[in-house]
Homo-oligomer: A and B are copies of this chain.
Amino acid sequence: MSWISEESMMKATIYDIAREAGVSIATVSKVINGKGKISEERRREVMAIMERLQYQPSVIASALTGKHTYTIGLLLPDLSNPFFAEVARAVEDRGHQLGYSVVMCSTDNKDERIERYLSLLKQQRVDGIILATGIGSAEQLKKLNHAMPVVVIGREVPESNLPTVVADDWGGGKAAAEHLLALGHRRMAVFAERLSITSSRERLRGFRQAIEEAGFTLTDEAIVICDDRIDDGRRQASALLRGSDRPTAVFCFNDLLAVGVLQAAKEAGLSVPAQLSIVSFDNTILAEVTDPPLTAVAQPMTHIGASAVDLLLEEIGSKPKIKARIALPTELVIRRSTGRIVE
């Protein structure tokens, strides 16, 4: 086997290009990165040779000196939850558009998984991290942010002063309540996610405020805390709907819970919306396929993902910067799971 065929098998490096073009590797590096001053002539020559040899610079090697790996990490609770899948898709799209790869990390909100992923991402030297999952204290967050740029999605961590993108949870909760009030509902229940998450608290606060402004109250018993799963929503709804004093409307903090409540209602022989109205939150594909389809507070998932990437890249790029906090509007999408009570 001659050296020619051997060489042709090998992946071209910057040295190959330099040799072929009769220039130094510094020059090649400059044309690759568009830095420094290179004569148009040389530039063309080098470009042509890179083309011919199908040269692809090693991100690995350049990361070792140039500090960027062009990879970002995305931590979320669960990729198989349609809401997060949707957001992940948006992050991926925007990232790739800007030349970044994105590593997905489903944490199931478990501390040990979060730890492990974070450690993995650090070793891989990702350029930054988007957190769409719960993470301990503001202090832990600060520590993490000390190691690399971080952007948080969907929750506020005031003490940490990190760039954040959230939906208008308060407004969404308020809109949900106003819709139900307008339909004549008075006995309402809330199926919430853990209230340790700020977005949950905000949704509740908006919902409650609208109710109180209308002169009614939302008792603590009317608030049910659920896990982020269909079957938990269903299980807890079964119990609630069995009572004689059952609510005429339920506001769910995500589509999974709403689907669970809908299933429980059907099992209990309750017709939706004639006997029970349901308002959901998220507006994923699930809200469209149930029967009846769900009235839901829509989150701008695509926008959320894209904005998070943009914020993160700003962090990565520049040093001192105002830590932006973006709040995106929500919108009530009225479908057929809500209506007036039919006595």
Contact = CB atoms under 8 A, between A and B. Distances in A.
Interface of A: 56-61, 63-64, 69-71, 78-80, 82, 85-86, 88-89, 92-93, 96, 99, 101-106, 116-117, 119-125, 230, 259, 263, 266, 285-286, 288-291
30 contacts: A56-B119, A57-B123, A58-B64, A58-B123, A59-B125, A60-B60, A60-B63, A60-B124, A60-B125, A61-B64, A78-B89, A80-B85, A80-B285, A88-B104, A92-B104, A96-B116, A99-B120, A101-B103, A101-B121, A102-B103, A103-B104, A104-B104, A230-B288, A230-B289, A285-B286, A286-B286, A289-B289, A289-B290, A290-B290, A291-B291
A117 B92 CA distance: 11
Main secondary structure of the interface of A (DSSP, over half): helix
Contact of A289 (B60, B69, B121, B259): B259
A122 B101 CA distance: 11
B59 A123 contact: yes
Counting from the closest, the 6 A-B pairs by CB-CB distance are A291-B291, A85-B85, A79-B89, A101-B103, A80-B89, A59-B123
A79 B263 CA distance: 26
A70 B106 CA distance: 18
Contacts of A119: 56
Given A60-B124, A96-B116, 18 more contacts: A60-B63, A60-B64, A61-B64, A64-B64, A71-B103, A80-B86, A80-B89, A82-B82, A82-B85, A89-B106, A92-B106, A96-B120, A101-B124, A102-B104, A103-B104, A230-B288, A266-B291, A289-B289
Contacts of A104: 88, 92, 102-104
Contacts of A96: 105, 116-117, 120
Contacts of A80: 82, 85-86, 89, 285
Contacts of A289: 230, 259, 263, 286, 289-290
A249 to B, nearest CB: 20
A243 to B, nearest CB: 24
Nearest to A78: B89
Nearest to A71: B124
Nearest to A97: B116
